[in-house]
Amino acid sequence: MFDIGAGEFIALAVVALLVLGPEKLPRYAAEAARMLQRLRGMAGAARADVRRELGPEFEDISLQDLNPRSLVRKHLLDPIDLDSLDVMGEKPAARRGPGDPPVPPKGPAPYDPDTT
């Protein structure tokens, strides 16, 4: 999570020992552990509240899906399935909806000399 290596962790422990002293360090470490435990509990409760408020129809949604970065990565950066796209953007007649514009006729445009 913090990408702290073993050497960095030892250096932090030595600095904490020098700053706080050997008599105060265990007490501060215990307080930090309790605070971290409370933060994890609050995060778990918030996660449960969000799941409960979304309702049963959204049980399969991961909270990671609600992250804007994940949303952009999932919907914009994933490859497009070109087989599902039709030539020239036309839908076949079987998949056309009632609000779709009519398909233009194949061949020359109709010409009426009386309308000109």
Indicate the SS3 state at residue 99: coil
Chain segment 10-33, per-residue pLDDT in tens = 898 888 888 888 888 889 889 999
Please tell me the predicted confidence (pLDDT) of residue 13.
84
Q: What single string gives the DSSP state of each residue in 52-97?
A: HHH-GGGTT--GGGGSHHHHHHHHHSSPP-GGGSPGGGPPPGGG--
Distance, in Å, from the CA atom of 76 to the CA atom of 72, rounded to the nearest integer, reads 5
CA distances from 42 to 28, 46, 69, 112 (A): 21, 6, 23, 75
Please tell me the predicted confidence (pLDDT) of residue 1.
53
Please tell me the predicted confidence (pLDDT) of residue 47.
85
Distance, in Å, from the CA atom of 70 to the CA atom of 72, rounded to the nearest integer, reads 5
Please tell me the predicted confidence (pLDDT) of residue 93.
53
**What ranges do the domains of the chain cover?**
1-76
Distance, in Å, from the CA atom of 63 to the CA atom of 72, rounded to the nearest integer, reads 15
Low-confidence ranges of the chain (pLDDT < 50): none
pTM of structure:
0.45
Please tell me the predicted confidence (pLDDT) of residue 44.
92
